[in-house]
Amino acid sequence: MATVTFEKAQRWYPGADAPAVPGLDLEIRDGELMVLVGPSGCGKSTTLRMLAGLEEVDDGRIYVGERDITDVAPKDRDIAMVFQNYALYPHMSVADNMGFALKMAKVPEAERKKRVAEAAELLGLTEYLARKPKALSGGQRQRVAMGRAIVRSPQVFCMDEPLSNLDAKMRVQTRTDIARLQSDLGVTTVYVTHDQVEAMTMGDRVAVMKDGVIQQVDTPLALYDRPANLFVAGFIGSPQMNLVEATAVDGRARIGEYAVPVDPAAEKTMSGRITVGVRPESWRVVPAGESGLPVRVTVVEELGADGYAYGTSDVAGTPSNVIVRVPGRDSVRKGETIHVTTDPQHVHVFDTDTGERLSA
């Protein structure tokens, strides 16, 4: 196996006003599952394709281990790609699809059959080896695509949104299978997705991208607990973090008449316009008459064990959307006004102008 290192790697498409990836620095550890996540057009697939050799690198270098692969042909990089659309040969059986790359590499037939059989057993495909792709479900086709990558025993797996064509239930099952498989095989894996739930549940570490620039690289829990800026705070989490503009006055974060309790460490760095962030589960509803942020409930999303109340807080004439997690079958109803508060350790503070984190 091997590490993967991007050093100021840049991709500038002909005719574009700006580079899709302006100069990426990223180190992926040996055996790690690194997830690149971000909105559509943020450069994550371009980054993956540069690694696989499917896009040119206009500047900078890419290394697999100590080997510089920047100008190496895709077939010689020892990298296996799993595509979004499976890319299976419809006229070939599952076994032939899985063993095709080995056949092209002139691997002896006995060795090919052995590797295909081992991968099929690992993926639960043994009974489907004689079938054609059209006789398989979407999830089974994706496993065949995975098997085709596995039999090559590459140094690196590249996966470009491999679950996007699956239904919701199959996505959950397959992402669990991929994470388990990657852990068992120990192959360095770069996984691209726009789904932050996928990123949070699968990645050893997650790189959040925006406009071709990495905003933060960390473990899923660290991203959730300590987002580096407003973009990461708003992108990571489902539902997303509540982000409400406030004013720093005498070490307090004021939203109209309500003073949000903030951590003492943040009080020293706050000034002027700030944005406070609170996760939906960190709000708590307080009884009428107690001090809290007023929220007029517009929608209640019932999920059984718990639910989410969506509403607006029209403070000082500036409406802000607020999401509050509430117990299931709670008394919160659409149309009513509730008051919520939180604790200082659950409040994130950001500079509104720069977007940078001010909290400790």
Give the domain ranges of the chain.
Answer: 4-230, 245-351
CATH class, 245-351 region: mainly beta
What pLDDT digit, counting tens, does each position of 231-288 carry?
Answer: 999 999 989 999 988 888 877 788 877 888 888 777 777 888 899 999 999 999 998 7
Query: How high is the pLDDT of residue 254?
Result: 84
Average pLDDT, the chain: 90
- 53 pLDDT higher than 70: yes
With 70 as the cut, is the pLDDT of residue 1 above it? no
Tokens of 136: 């398989």
Report the percentage of the chain scoring pLDDT > 70: 98
pLDDT 10s digits, 59-97:
999 999 999 999 999 989 999 998 888 889 999 999 999
User: Sign of torsion, CA 212 217 221 227?
Assistant: negative
> In the predicted model, is pLDDT for residue 319 greater than 70?
no
**Type of residue numbered 162:** P
Predicted confidence (pLDDT) per residue in 198-238, tens digit: 999 999 999 999 999 999 999 999 999 999 999 999 999 98
| Count of Cβ atoms closer than 10 Å to residue 16 Cβ | 9
pTM for the model stands at: 0.89
Alpha-carbon torsion, ordered 283, 238, 243, 288, to 10 deg: -20
State the pLDDT at residue 64: 96
Would you state the pLDDT for residue 317?
A: 55
Q: Which residues of 39-58 are buried (b: 16+ CB within 10 A; e: fewer)?
A: eeebbbbbbbbbbbbebebb
Task: Please state, in angstroms and rounded to a whole number, the distance separating the CA atoms of residues 271 and 251.
Answer: 8
Class for domain 4-230, per CATH? alpha beta
- pLDDT of residue 189 exceeding 90: yes
Q: What is the DSSP letter of 135?
A: G
Q: What's residue 316's pLDDT?
A: 62
Residue 82 pairs in a beta bridge with 159
Q: What is the pLDDT of residue 144?
A: 92
